[in-house]
Amino acid sequence: MSKTIAINAGSSSLKWKLFTMPQEDELASGVVERIGLNDSIFTIKYNNGEKYKQVVDIANHEIAVEMLLKQLTELKIINDFNEITGVGHRVVAGGEIFKDSALVTDEVVEQIESLSEFAPLHNPANATGIKVFRKILPDITSVAVFDTSFHQTMPKVNYLYSIPLEYYEKHNARKYGAHGTSHKYVAQKAAEMLEKPIEDLKIITCHLGNGASITAVDGGKSVDTSMGFTPLAGVTMGTRSGDIDASLLPFLMEKEGIESINDMIYILNNESGLKGISGISSDMRDLEDVEDTNERAELALRIFEDRVKKYIGSYAATMNGVDAIVFTAGIGENGPETREKVIDGISFLGVHIDGEKNNVRGKQRIISTDDSKVKVLLIPTDEEVMIARDVQKFSK
């Protein structure tokens, strides 16, 4: 019986879960926030409700990992480091190099760093997390799990942009997508809940959080997804614009006196979406609290729902049908109003929400009416357990 830790390293954070494998029992989870800043926050949850929290300056990821391993032993979650036999690292961009998860080697680390131009905020941090764990626990199985890998099954007709083909051939300019680990997990779980082989199903998975993406899963494979070359594309998100006419950028830059394209992209990534439309917040809950009295908040909510509906309709056409629609992630799991409005807007597909079943947050269940031709499922995502499973594959 081995223990595997799933790691999601950000530029100033480190999220993790520890599992007993292959049973997939979660032993503990936690996060280290504000790494490199004053008053870093170190949190561990364990023993079905117990919590350890410390606020202390943590200068870098190496110190964060050392603290994590030390506290796992002091809290008796593990007896010693040797109990951890595997570590899986979430990596955002795998480009066209990584079509599946990969056993970490020096070459793999170099390749992850070389792909940083596709995810400049994420890949360097992901690589840092890998290096730190390899230094502290050099002998354990170390696996990189890529957000983009699940989408490598997309056909060219769906991942190529209608720009000169040479740009793809020379610069790999194409759609890569994101949230692949989440989309893969909930699609597989949907097939289990429906008691049908995933190879026989056409599923549309809606990962709706502050970052949001929709994926068409045909026979268990991603055939199209809403995020593009970067996670800026697709549906309206918390602070990201989603799809936009590229010609609007120079127009706005001239009108607003924005001199740098990087500044314009920053606005599209950080000041747009629900936040930009509402002028209030990027958090769906804040907008729902005031939508009856604030027109901009209501407008932001309706635009978000509209963009999700459009992608669902588009992907039903892409697959020439749909058997199931899945909602997951923060908004998808905890937003019954959003789920209801989205499904009500595509009732022409023969899909209908059961109000009573839908009146729930974060619980796995079928929420469509019994007579719906298309089933609607609420499935809490678990990217960490998918990472642990991939580590297990390499540990056999």
- Cite the active site residues: 147
How many C-beta neighbours within 10 Å does residue 395 have? 16
Bridge partners, 42 (sequence order): 32, 54
Q: What is the DSSP string of 42-89?
A: EEEEETTTEEEEEEE---SHHHHHHHHHHHHHHTTS-SSGGGEEEEEE
Q: What is the DSSP string of 110-178?
A: HHHHHGGGGSTTTHHHHHHHHHHHHHHSTTSEEEEEETTGGGGG--HHHH--SS-HHHHHHH--S---S
Tokens 């056909």: give the residue.
155
Find, among 325, 379, 383, the residue nearest to 201 by Cα. 325
Please name the helix (run of DSSP H) or strand (run of DSSP E) that holds residue 288, with its range, or none.
Answer: helix 284-290
* Neighbouring C-alpha atoms within 13 Å toward the C-beta of 270: 6
Tokens 């599923």: give the residue.
203
Residue 279 · residue 309 · CB < 8 Å: no
Distance CA 300, CA 282 (A): 10
